[in-house]
Amino acid sequence: MAESRTAAVNAVLKRIKDENIEMVDFKFMDFPGQWQHFSIPASQLKEDSFEEGFGFDGSSLRGFKRIDESDMVIIPDPSTGFLDPFIEMKTLSLVGDVYEPVTKEKYQRCPRNIAQKAEAYVASTGIADTAFFGAEAEFFILDDVRFDTNGHSSFYFIDSREGRWNSGRNEEPNLGYKPRYKEGYFPVPPTDSMNDIRNMMVRHLINAGIEVETQHHEVATGGQAEIDLRFNSLTAMADDLLLFKYIVKNTARYYNKTVTFMPKPLFGDNGSGMHTHVSLWKDNKPLFYGNKYANLSDTALNFVGGILKHAPTLCALTNPTTNSYKRLVPGFEAPVNLAYSQRNRSAAIRIPLYSSSPNAKRIEYRTPDPSCNPYLAFAAMLMAGLDGIINKIDPGEPLDKNIYDMPPEELKNVPSAPASLEEALAALERDHSFLLKGDVFTGDVINAWIDYKFSREVQEMALRPHPYEYALYYDV
């Protein structure tokens, strides 16, 4: 391990010299789930920089340190380098881990540290040595976004030349090719007006070292899109997803457009999910293939059982915004039903059947959305599944029926995801002992997450009148 890290460090320093790189940019994650960064001249990056790191003020980052203990250190990971195509000067970007400056230990609230501890824990159990994740993050490409809220007014306005709501607008000329509501899946150009933009996103992703499987228009009107990345190990997949969001947003900006990963930015059409594929391997052999339902193994079924048992808790991390629950509404297409099925996309867990290969056998958890912090979300999903394996949790019978055809008396027996972020946080408070195993999550992390989300988001939303309340109640 030490030899490979030394080789990676030498490769970074050699690349800086050979490619005349002028700046080095360090990217790292805050607690809620957004990349932060700062840059140094390339001449300042030395071999010992990968041991000593660089200091910064942790009190200025959301969810990190108080001002009286604010000094933090970031140590770059030499295996994560990529040329940043959106910075004018030639810049090499490196993802970093956050450390305590006195103890030189990784900061327990550093999300990337939590993901790394989850990977170490699965190996320590002897169950598996690798957890693979593949995330499909949907998003909207928009032309205009405006919003404001204050003591006497509140509004948002989004617009897209592709939005069906603009079919009657004078666009000098309006060419009419605008996807119908809920009919934006796979139309060819000119109805799909975003193909070239998505192709450019794919080019940047590939150049940054990310393997892309496909890109396409998604179901909603108004520029909904999806670009699928090839699976990777847990921490690497979270790294890839953050780089993916960075590239997607900045590519859109180049075209004078804007991207949002909000789960439900548009009323009356599909929201954006992040279907997440998971499989466990040991000694280069897949553990989820077997002779049970949908060619799953007992290990896989128990993993499913753990996910379903702890799904309300997971929602606090996989669907961590108040907006997430505008998407997770029963009776629509969102996967709120806590069940599993080999083809039913209304179930929370689907078993994909595209391939009969044992290596391709995996589960797809459909409830998460792209507003999550992927390090925390993936780690929590892994811990829930491992709890299912360790305790041999039975997932129950699969749900292969069309949920929309089920009578109410039968549907009431199918549990649902929480209806709000507040409910999900309450579930996390009640049920989190499985997350503490192996010191992957700590009590401090759990409490800090609940406190942050409740005080900064749930409570703040509850205090403010909603614009639609005026339509409902102004004349009471």
Could you give the CA distance from residue 443 to residue 433 in angstroms, rounded to a whole number? 9
Six token digits for residue 263:
């789960």
Six token digits for residue 287:
């553990």
Which whole-number Å values give the CA distances from 407 to 402, 453, 457, in the listed order? 10, 36, 36
Query: Does residue 66 have an active-site annotation?
Result: no
Chain centroid offset of residue 28 CA: 15
**Residue 284 belongs to what H/E stretch?**
none
Give me the catalytic one of 169, 345, 430, 456.
Answer: 345
Give me the catalytic one of 218, 269, 422, 457.
Answer: 218
Query: Does residue 171 have an active-site annotation?
Result: no
Q: Read off the amino acid at residue 140.
A: F
Proportion of the chain in helix, strand, coil states, percent, rounded to 5: 40, 20, 40
Query: Does residue 57 have an active-site annotation?
Result: yes
* Among the listed residues 426, 422, 403, 427, the one whose alpha carbon sits nearest the alpha carbon of residue 413: 403
Start-to-end CA distance of the chain, whole Å, equals 69
- Rounded to 5 degrees, what angle do the CA atoms 53, 56, 58 make? 120
Give me the catalytic one of 161, 164, 198, 275.
Answer: 275
Query: Does residue 345 have an active-site annotation?
Result: yes
Give me the catalytic one of 57, 394, 410, 469.
Answer: 57
Query: Does residue 429 have an active-site annotation?
Result: no
Give me the catalytic one of 30, 84, 97, 136.
Answer: 136
Could you give the CA distance from residue 299 to residue 392 in angstroms, rounded to a whole number? 8
Could you give the CA distance from residue 130 to residue 392 in angstroms, rounded to a whole number? 20
Could you give the CA distance from residue 311 to residue 319 in angstroms, rounded to a whole number? 11
Considering Cα of 325, then 328, then 329, then 333, what sign does the dihedral take?
positive
Give me the catalytic one of 119, 138, 240, 369.
Answer: 138
Could you give the CA distance from residue 159 to residue 143 in angstroms, rounded to a whole number? 6
Considering Cα of 87, then 93, then 99, then 101, what sign does the dihedral take?
negative
Query: Does residue 366 have an active-site annotation?
Result: yes
Give me the catalytic one of 30, 77, 239, 364.
Answer: 364
Give me the catalytic one of 97, 162, 226, 457.
Answer: 226
Q: How many CA atoms within 13 Å lie on the side-chain side of 170? A: 0
Those residues whose C-beta lies under 8 Å from the C-beta of residue 368, and which sit 6 or more positions away, are 135, 273, 274, 275, 276, 314, 318, 319, 377, 381
Q: In sequence order, what E strands does 19-175 have?
A: 23-29, 35-41, 54-57, 71-76, 82-83, 91-99, 130-142, 144-149, 154-159
Give me the catalytic one of 119, 366, 369, 457.
Answer: 366
| Residues labelled as active-site residues | 57, 136, 138, 218, 226, 275, 345, 364, 366
